[in-house]
Amino acid sequence: MSANASAFDAWIRGPFVAMNSVLEALYFAQTDRANVEGVGDAVKHALRDEGHVHIVALWREGNTGDGFESAFAVLGNVGMYLAALRRHELTNPAREDRSPFQEASSLALHVGASIGMAPRFATAHLATRNFAVAGVRRSFTDLRDEFLFIDENTRGILCFQRAADALARIPALGVSNPVADIQFAAAADALRAAIAINARLFGTLDIERFFYCVRPYYKPYRVGRLEYRGANAGDFSGINEIDLLLGLCQANDPSYAQLLVDKMLFMPPEDQTRLRDCMRHRNLLDEFLALAQDHADTDWFQTNARAFIEVCDLFAKTAAQHHDQLVNRFIVMPSATLDDVHMSGLTASGPPLSVLLRALESLRDQRMAADRPDLHTRHADLARLRTCLVSTENQR
Ligand code: HEM
């Protein structure tokens, strides 16, 4: 990392966090906690101006040749700086047609293009690639609830990645291979851990702190002329690898394909490659169904199909937890009391909450293989596979 990149990184992990934390305390103490106008202006301006000095130095340096890790870190840091300016309303895409922060935009565009990612901070910067320097990982504030959110999200993502790793090795073995059993078992273990993490997050995250002090850093903002949607915990390939490998979602379904295309550049290059790879495999549900007629009574079919269905059921549970518990408790419920003026910019991706919720609900139902006549799900196919199992203990 160059001296300028290191200095900016130290500023982001130190003074930047301190200034955001001071501002959050001021906002949170108000009767209208969503208001940021006219509050803490001196601190906001110090944050903007101190960050600008680092950005200009890096932009002048024009150096993206220090390797992926360094470029990725600079992209995350400039992205977090712009996200904080957005959070403190020093920029707002609704009232501007280009970012007022030209040097930061140029730096983000240059570095983002050089590593093949969107020119903004991505989930990986705060999660799976949030490199801790002697225990200090990147964050916007020093709030307990922000660390809880970042850490539990990261643990959750790591679990889904483990499940995806395990399932991704099955196509090469074939579902009729007896050794596929340990891969299904590994995926099931990882999903059980994800369920426990979701439950812990649900039980411990403070609703008001998350809603008013953490979530606002994930709003969309402009880089140059274009507006880029906010990061969300879903910006990693593992979850979609599981969708596609299990066969619960299909890459030729237009709305799911759109989701994959939209998130591609919000993921690190290695995730982009993995996602492309798993779009080329035949899914495991189809593999089992193709073998069912002639082989349902064999030991390998019974063992592996049962293990596959267990993985589907655990994955369904994670999807229900995300939508019915996390999204509902931490976004839908607190937004019901929000003033109309503060409703715009509520979601990370930008659309009104009702539109976003419908899309998230469809994803949940596809992952749960729910019986929904208005949506293509694998309900009937999974039910058919369940009927092939000799014992009825796993049937719903
Ligand atoms: C407080 C906890 C959480 C809340 C309130 C929450 C809320 C949301 C919201 C509102 C979105 C839609 C983003 C947008 O477009 O605006 C989203 C997307 C997503 N989140 Fe979460 N989330 C939470 C934790 C998690 C965790 C722990 C995971 C798993 C690691 C996760 C996985 C996903 C995924 C995969 C998506 C993309 C949509 C999908 O494929 O389902 N989220 N989340």
Structural domains in the chain, CATH included, are: 3-121 (1.20.58.600), 144-395 (1.20.58.480)
Low-confidence ranges of the chain (pLDDT < 70): 64-65, 339-350, 391-396
- Separation CA 282–CA 161 (nearest Å): 20
How much is the pLDDT for 62?
83
> Is the minimum distance from the CB of 201 to ligand 1 under 6 angstroms?
yes
Atom of ligand 1 nearest to the CA of 329: 5
Q: C-alpha distances in angstroms, 19 versus 26, 101, 243, 292? A: 11, 19, 40, 61
How much is the pLDDT for 395?
45
How much is the pLDDT for 310?
98
How much is the pLDDT for 342?
63
Length of the chain, please?
Answer: 396
> Is the minimum distance from the CB of 303 to ligand 1 under 6 angstroms?
no
* Contact in structure between 133 and 87 (CB atoms under 8 Å): no
Q: Which residue's C-alpha comes closest to atom 36 of ligand 1? A: 234
- What is residue 16's DSSP assignment? I
- Separation CA 268–CA 128 (nearest Å): 10
Rg of the chain over all Cα atoms, to the nearest angstrom: 23
**Nearest CA to 118 among 83, 162, 76, 174?**
76
- Separation CA 75–CA 147 (nearest Å): 21
- Separation CA 172–CA 150 (nearest Å): 34
Atom of ligand 1 nearest to the CA of 331: 5
Helix-, strand-, coil-residue percentages of the chain, each rounded to 5 = 65, 0, 35
- Separation CA 200–CA 122 (nearest Å): 24
- Ligand 1: distance of its center to the CA of 322 in Å? 7
What pTM, to 2 d.p., does this model score?
A: 0.94
How much is the pLDDT for 393?
52
> Is the minimum distance from the CB of 325 to ligand 1 under 6 angstroms?
no
> Is the minimum distance from the CB of 320 to ligand 1 under 6 angstroms?
no
**Block residue for tokens 């208001």:** 35
**Nearest CA to 248 among 276, 291, 286?**
286
> Is the minimum distance from the CB of 219 to ligand 1 under 6 angstroms?
no
**With the CA atoms of 339, 342, 344 and 347 taken in that order, what torsion angle do they form, in degrees rounded to the nearest 10?**
-100
How much is the pLDDT for 350?
63
- Ligand 1: distance of its center to the CA of 320 in Å? 12
- Separation CA 180–CA 188 (nearest Å): 12
- Separation CA 336–CA 329 (nearest Å): 11
